[in-house]
């Protein structure tokens, strides 16, 4: 499979090169040259396939022939070493739990898959690769864990000071080895802008091989399509049309779901559930796309004012606004509404959600008001104990810490503070 830049001003390239480079030379995101739908029988027979078999079939066309099938099977099995249960709340609403991996966030899938792909590509390479990644919360920990100890790969994570939860910060600042954390005086968009600027800095790129592990990277983004298929496998016997409500920040996750749909997965509709960072919600109402500075909320992983992956969503829909709005709805919710939803979910279903899942639940309820003949699945993207201060304050119930969280709580944070792109550049050149 070859990939092209969405800016259409760079040569097409291989999967390997797209993974290693992250961004195209013309600053565009890479997108696969073609998407071949899978046979209808594949989706009808999901009950007879393991998660690893499903994922291998779904991803194979996007990585072949550069990753041999036996290697790809191993990568997939190692990536999917945990479960993706669907929990039914009532006749119309379920949640897909994506927090059973090592860092208890949905990004474990993409980070582990990408780390193994990059490790394979770099196994005979004497040159080191530096993975540069910005995080608004969970990406940092997932990438740090996924790449820990990978030969020939150094990871540098930028995160906004004071704007990630304590547990998220511990997960990305305590691992050591080939993982470095840079604490940025700013917001997530500042971190993301620094990363993009570094890729375009010829003085830097002439001295080191940089790549990104944000969802702009095809190997981080594409494997997220797996769990939409896993959810459908668990729900297709409900005999209702299935709608996914995705808590959306950088829009990589919902975009991956749309790729699963392109492969033939019978998804009826998508909901982009936003917090107050609602560029896309506004766009779908006005057809005017106006990125703006992000604002801080209690669902911090969605605090993105200029979502990188939305251009991929537009490409999937051939830049046809009508086609996009047929397939995608979007709603925006305040912190107060999110807290009310957390309390309601706990009181009504005895289920503890995290703030991002609560936003997804609100998206379900908003859509179901006028579409009561569907089954709506909201993605529970991180374990609620990663947001203890918010969750415990709302539900008034002490939450036990899972083993994965307990492991990092007493470790010592190690991070270097930076305030500007020049600080980042200086750090990379001198370390």
Q: CB 96: neighbour CB atoms within 10 A?
A: 26
Catalytic residue among 107, 170, 339, 386: 107
Residue 379: strand pairing partners? 96
Cα separations (Å) of 372 from 45, 53, 216, 289, 406? 28, 33, 35, 30, 41
Look at residues 296, 298, 305, 272 and name the one whose alpha carbon lies nearest to residue 386. 298
Pinpoint the alpha helices (H) of 241-371: 252-262, 279-286, 310-316, 321-327, 335-349, 355-368
Bin 399: left if φ > 0, else alpha if -120 < ψ < 50, else beta.
beta
Question: Quick one: which of 324, 328, 316 has its CA closest to 263?
Answer: 316
Q: How far is CA 168 from CA 207, 354, 364, 382, 408, in A?
A: 31, 13, 27, 10, 10
Tell me the DSSP string of 15-44. HHHHHHHSS-TTSPPEEES---PPPHHHHH
> Are the C-beta atoms of residues 126 and 133 closer than 8 Å to each other?
no
Residue 286 and residue 310: Cα distance in Å, rounded?
Answer: 16
Residue 207 known to be catalytic? no
How far does the chain reach from its first CA to its final CA, in angstroms?
35
Among candidate residues 50, 100, 97, 95, the one with its CA nearest the CA of residue 76: 50
CA distances from 44 to 5, 54, 263, 264, 267 (A): 34, 12, 13, 11, 14
Write out the catalytic residue numbers: 107
């Amino acid at each position: 499979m070859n990939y092209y830049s969405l800016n259409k001003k760079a040569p097409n390239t291989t999967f390997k090169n797209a993974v290693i480079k992250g961004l195209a030379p013309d600053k565009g995101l890479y997108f696969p040259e073609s998407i071949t739908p899978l046979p209808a029988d594949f989706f009808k027979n999901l009950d007879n396939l393991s998660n690893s078999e499903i994922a291998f079939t779904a991803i194979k066309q996007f990585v072949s022939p550069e990753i041999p099938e036996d290697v790809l099977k191993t990568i997939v099995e190692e990536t999917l070493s945990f479960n993706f249960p669907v929990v039914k709340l009532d006749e119309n609403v379920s949640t897909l739990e994506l927090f059973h991996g090592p860092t208890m966030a949905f990004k474990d899938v993409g980070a582990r898959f990408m780390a193994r792909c990059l490790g394979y590509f770099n196994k005979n390479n004497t040159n080191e690769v530096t993975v540069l990644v910005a995080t608004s919360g969970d990406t940092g920990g997932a990438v740090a864990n996924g790449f820990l100890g990978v030969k020939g790969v150094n990871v540098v994570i930028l995160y906004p000071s004071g704007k990630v939860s304590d547990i998220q910060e511990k997960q990305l600042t305590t691992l050591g080895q080939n993982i470095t954390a840079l604490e940025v005086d700013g917001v997530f968009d500042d971190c993301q802008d620094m990363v993009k600027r570094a890729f375009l800095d010829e003085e830097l790129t002439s001295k080191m091989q940089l790549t990104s592990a944000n969802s702009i990277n095809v190997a981080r983004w594409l494997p997220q399509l797996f769990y939409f298929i896993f959810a459908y496998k668990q729900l297709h016997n409900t005999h209702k049309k299935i709608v996914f409500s995705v808590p959306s920040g950088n829009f990589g996750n919902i975009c991956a779901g749309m790729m699963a749909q392109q492969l033939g997965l019978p998804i009826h509709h998508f909901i982009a559930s936003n917090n107050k960072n609602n560029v896309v919600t506004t766009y779908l109402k006005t057809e005017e796309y106006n990125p703006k500075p992000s604002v801080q909320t209690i669902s911090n992983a969605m605090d993105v004012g200029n979502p990188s992956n939305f251009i991929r969503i537009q490409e999937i829909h051939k830049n046809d606004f009508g086609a996009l709005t047929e397939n995608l709805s979007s709603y925006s919710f305040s912190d107060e509404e999110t807290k009310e939803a957390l309390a309601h979910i706990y009181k009504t279903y005895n289920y503890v959600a995290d703030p991002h899942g609560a936003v997804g639940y609100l998206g379900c309820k908003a859509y179901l008001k006028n579409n009561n003949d569907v089954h709506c699945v909201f993605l529970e993207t991180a374990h609620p104990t990663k947001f203890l201060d918010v969750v415990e304050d709302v539900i008034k119930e002490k939450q036990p810490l899972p083993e994965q969280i307990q492991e990092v709580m007493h470790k010592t944070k190690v991070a270097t503070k930076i305030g500007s792109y020049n600080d980042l550049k200086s750090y990379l050149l001198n370390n």
